[in-house]
């Protein structure tokens, strides 16, 4: 499929595609950068080189878990305070107007839901939940944060925040941090997100593929599509002949399959898109 790089009238081209409805949205870290959360490969992520935690290291090493939870405890201060930006609100408005088939997000920040979106599949889980690896009970992250504060009343540290919600800390900063376990069974607690080296549950992946397969178009927002996790849905859409539009700052791994590409800030672009769609459709029934 030829790539059309939109330069003259990007919003008009995008509105023509989205305005037909039944659009599947695939969002990535670039959508949340305007909320203060860094991305992985875009402009805010290039200076962050911390090695991500793998599932194997997390379950196999008490020291690795202590380091992870110390870093995540610091990072949650920023992630937990983050609020939806104009891009999240625009996506929620598209859903409210009945134009979306569903939202698949690679993000773990919960900002789509906080903006009011309802049809959201969290591909990699959510940082606002914690799961016990023994009894599988899920509890709110806020509850764990209260327990960590109680277990570490005199501990304080700060560091550069990573996209997955942890902070860059030194060995000296991590030393002495106390980890807490499941209150029900004493098992290991883990954020309810998919770590590197861990597979996304197959039913969740199948649900995402079904959203793409049932869509009239696929709209990719803020994802570099440099790893299989997100790119596979673009490949699926291309194989099915579903038109693909990508809004991202910088090139992506899916550009070759895209019908439309927009290299621009997400918030302003999506706000302009919703405004144009509203202007084209006129006032909603019953509006004064």
Q: Catalytic residue at 73?
A: no
249 has binding-site annotation: yes
Crossing angle of helices 62-79 and 141-151, in 10° steps, is: 110
Residue linked to tokens 């201060």? 77
The full 3-state SS of 193-205, as one line of letters, equals ECCECCCCCHHHH
Whole-angstrom Cα distance, residue 171 to residue 27? 34
Annotated ligand binding at 208? The verdict is no
Which candidate, 189, 212, 208, places its Cα nearest to that of 200? 208
Q: Is 109 annotated as a binding residue?
A: yes
Choice among 73, 88, 112, 124 that is catalytic: 124
The answer to whether 107 is annotated as binding is yes
Residue in the block written with tokens 């029934």: 285
Q: Is 108 annotated as contributing to ligand binding? A: yes
- Report residue 144: phi and psi, to 5°: -65, -40
**d(C-alpha 40, C-alpha 59), whole Å:** 24
32 in a labelled binding site = no
State residue 34 phi and psi, 5-degree precision: -75, -5
Instruction: Find out whether 223 is annotated in a ligand binding site.
Output: yes
Give the annotated binding-site residues: 106-109, 132, 135, 182, 185, 222-224, 248-250, 266
Give the annotated binding-site residues for Zn(2+): 132, 135, 182, 185
Catalytic residues: 124
Give the annotated binding-site residues for NAD(+): 106-109, 222-224, 248-250, 266
């Amino acid at each position: 499929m030829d790539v059309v790089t939109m330069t003259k009238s990007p919003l008009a081209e995008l509105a023509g595609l989205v305005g037909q409805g039944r659009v599947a949205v695939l969002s990535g870290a670039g959508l949340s950068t305007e909320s203060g959360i860094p991305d992985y490969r875009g402009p805010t992520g290039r200076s962050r080189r911390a090695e991500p935690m793998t599932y194997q290291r997390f379950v196999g090493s008490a020291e690795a878990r202590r380091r992870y939870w110390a870093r995540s405890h610091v990072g949650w201060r920023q992630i937990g305070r983050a609020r939806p930006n104009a891009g999240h609100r625009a996506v929620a408005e598209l859903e409210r107007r009945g134009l979306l088939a569903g939202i698949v997000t690679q993000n773990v920040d919960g900002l789509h839901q906080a903006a009011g979106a309802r049809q959201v599949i969290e591909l990699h889980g959510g940082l606002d939940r914690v799961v016990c690896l023994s009894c599988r009970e899920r509890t709110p992250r806020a509850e764990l944060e209260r327990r960590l504060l109680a277990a570490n009343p005199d501990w304080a540290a700060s560091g550069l925040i990573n996209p997955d919600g942890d902070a860059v800390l030194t060995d000296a900063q991590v030393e002495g941090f106390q980890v807490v376990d499941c209150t029900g069974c004493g098992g290991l607690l883990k954020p309810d997100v998919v770590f590197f080296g861990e597979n996304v549950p197959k039913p969740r992946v199948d649900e995402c593929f079904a959203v793409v397969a049932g869509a009239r178009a696929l709209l990719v927002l803020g994802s570099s599509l440099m790893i299989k996790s997100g790119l596979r849905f673009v490949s699926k859409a291309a194989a099915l002949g579903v038109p693909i539009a990508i809004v991202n700052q910088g090139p992506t791994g899916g550009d070759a399959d895209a019908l439309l590409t927009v290299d621009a800030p997400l918030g302003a672009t999506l706000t302009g898109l919703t405004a144009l769609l509203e202007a084209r459709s006129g006032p909603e029934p019953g509006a004064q």
